[in-house]
C-alpha cells in the first residue's frame, strides 16, 4: 500500500518532540516538564535501559495531547553505538502480535515500556487505549530517534495490530527492527509511516539484511554531506537530521562543518 505523502511540517514538529524527550532525560526527569507546541502532558514513558546493564526504568519520552491529537515521543540512548557493537542480532517472535520476528534487544527493551518508573504501571499501549477510548482524540502520531525509532516502530505495530488506532509514524535514524514478515506486516498495518535516514549514518544499515532483517517502509533518504561535519556521531545526531530537513534548525555546535 503506498504511503501517504511525506509532510515536512509533521517531521519538523515531531522532531521537536523527540528533542524534548532528550531534554527530559538530560534534566533529570523534572516533575514540572511540559511538552512543546502547547501540548499537555498525559504521562511520561519509562523503559529499562538495556545498554547500561542496570535493572531500572529510566525516562525515555512522553505521551502528550492537544484537543484532538496525541503524540508519543521516544529518545534514543547515548550508548547506541556500544549496543550495536555488542549485540548478536538474534531474531525472536514479537510477543504482542503475530507479526514475524524482531531483534531480541529491541523486543526486550520494548517489553519494559511503562507509563511510570516501575513495571506496576500500565504499559504504554494500554495507556493509549484508555486515552483514546472516549473518541475526542482523533489522531495518534508516534516518533523517535535511533534506538527510540526502533521502539516507536514496535509501539506503532502494537497499537495498530491490536486495534487501538492506526497511527502516523515519523522516525529518525531507525535501525532495522525485524525480519521481512515483520516489515511486511508493519507496512500493511501502519501505511502512514516515514523513516528519515541519513546516507552515511551507520545505524539505519544495522542489523544487517544478510542476518535476515528488513526495513519497514517508507524511507526518506537524507544527505548531510554539505551541512554537517563528517564523523559517525554527527551523521547520526538528531540535530543533523532536522538541519538537513530545514537549515533553520541549528546544528550541534560540535558538528559545524
Domain boundary assignment for the chain: 8-255
pLDDT confidence of residue 180: 98
Query: E strands within the chain?
Result: 40-48, 57-65, 69-74, 91-93, 101-103, 139-145, 168-172, 193-198, 219-222
Segment 36-64 mean pLDDT: 85
pLDDT confidence of residue 80: 62
Confidence of residue 56 (pLDDT cuts 50, 70, 90): confident
Contact status, residue 115 vs residue 47, Cβ threshold 8 Å: no
Contact status, residue 178 vs residue 215, Cβ threshold 8 Å: no
Distance CA 180, CA 184 (A): 6
pLDDT confidence of residue 85: 57
Distance CA 247, CA 222 (A): 13
pLDDT confidence of residue 88: 65
Segment 199-207 mean pLDDT: 93
pLDDT confidence of residue 29: 95
Three-class SS state of 30: coil
pLDDT confidence of residue 48: 84
Residue 51 has pLDDT above 60, yes or no: no
Contact status, residue 110 vs residue 125, Cβ threshold 8 Å: no
Count of H-run helices and E-run strands, the chain: 8, 9
Tens digit of pLDDT for each residue in 120-137? 899 999 999 999 999 999
Contact status, residue 172 vs residue 149, Cβ threshold 8 Å: yes
C-alpha distances in Å from residue 9, one per residue of 16, 68, 164: 11, 17, 25
Three-class SS state of 50: coil
In this structure, what C-alpha cell is assigned to residue 51?
545498554
Segment 221-231 mean pLDDT: 92
Is residue 189 left, alpha or beta, with left meaning phi > 0 and alpha meaning psi from -120 to 50? alpha
C-alpha distances in Å from residue 224, one per residue of 147, 172, 174, 239, 253: 20, 13, 16, 11, 15
Q: What are 175's strand-pairing partners?
A: none
The fraction of the chain above a pLDDT of 70, given in percent, is: 92
Residue 3 has pLDDT above 80, yes or no: no
At the topology level of CATH, where does 8-255 sit? Rossmann fold (3.40.50)
Whole-number average pLDDT of the chain: 92
Residue 84 has pLDDT above 70, yes or no: no
Residue 113 has pLDDT above 80, yes or no: yes
Q: What are 222's strand-pairing partners?
A: 198
Task: Decide which of 61 and 2 is more confident.
Answer: 61
Residue 224 has pLDDT above 70, yes or no: yes
Radius of gyration of the chain (CA): 17
Orientation angle between helical segments 180-189 and 147-161, nearest 10 degrees: 60
Tens digit of pLDDT for each residue in 20-35? 999 999 999 999 999 9
pLDDT confidence of residue 86: 54
Distance CA 56, CA 106 (A): 16
Please state whether beta strands 40-48 and 168-172 pair in parallel, antiparallel, or not at all (unpaired): unpaired
Distance CA 85, CA 175 (A): 13
Residue 54 has pLDDT above 80, yes or no: no
Tens digit of pLDDT for each residue in 164-191? 999 999 999 999 999 999 999 999 999 9
Q: What are 114's strand-pairing partners?
A: 46, 123
Amino acid at each position: 500500500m503506498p504511503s501517504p505523502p511525506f509532510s515536512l511540517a509533521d517531521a519538523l514538529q515531531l522532531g521537536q518532540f523527540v528533542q524534548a524527550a532528550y531534554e527530559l532525560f538530560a534534566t533529570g526527569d523534572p516533575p514540572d516538564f511540559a511538552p512543546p507546541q502547547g501540548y499537555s502532558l498525559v504521562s511520561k514513558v519509562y523503559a529499562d535501559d538495556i545498554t547500561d546493564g542496570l535493572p531500572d526504568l529510566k525516562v525515555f519520552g512522553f505521551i502528550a495531547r492537544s484537543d484532538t491529537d496525541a503524540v508519543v515521543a521516544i529518545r534514543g540512548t547515548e550508548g547506541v553505538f556500544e549496543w550495536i557493537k555488542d549485540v548478536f542480532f538474534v531474531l525472536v517472535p514479537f510477543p504482542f502480535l503475530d507479526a514475524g520476528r524482531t531483534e531480541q534487544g529491541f523486543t526486550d527493551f520494548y517489553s519494559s515500556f511503562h507509563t511510570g518508573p516501575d513495571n506496576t504501571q500500565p504499559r504504554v499501549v494500554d495507556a493509549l487505549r484508555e486515552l483514546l477510548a472516549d473518541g475526542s482524540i482523533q489522531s495518534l502520531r508516534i516518533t523517535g530517534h535511533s534506538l527510540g525509532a526502533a521502539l516507536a516502530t514496535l509501539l506503532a505495530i502494537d497499537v495498530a495490530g491490536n486495534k487501538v488506532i492506526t497511527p502516523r509514524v515519523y522516525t529518525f535514524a531507525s535501525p532495522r527492527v525485524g525480519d521481512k514478515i515483520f516489515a511486511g506486516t508493519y507496512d500493511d498495518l501502519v501505511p502512514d509511516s516515514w523513516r528519515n535516514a541519513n546516507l552515511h549514518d551507520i545505524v539505519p544499515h544495522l542489523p544487517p539484511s544478510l542476518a535476515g532483517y528488513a526495513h519497514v517502509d517508507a524511507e526518506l533518504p537524507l544527505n548531510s554531506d554539505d551541512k554537517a561535519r563528517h564523523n559517525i556521531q554527527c551523521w547520526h545526531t538528531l540535530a543533523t537530521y532536522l538541519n538537513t530537513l530545514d537549515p533553520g534548525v541549528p546544528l550541534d555546535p560540535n558538528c559545524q562543518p
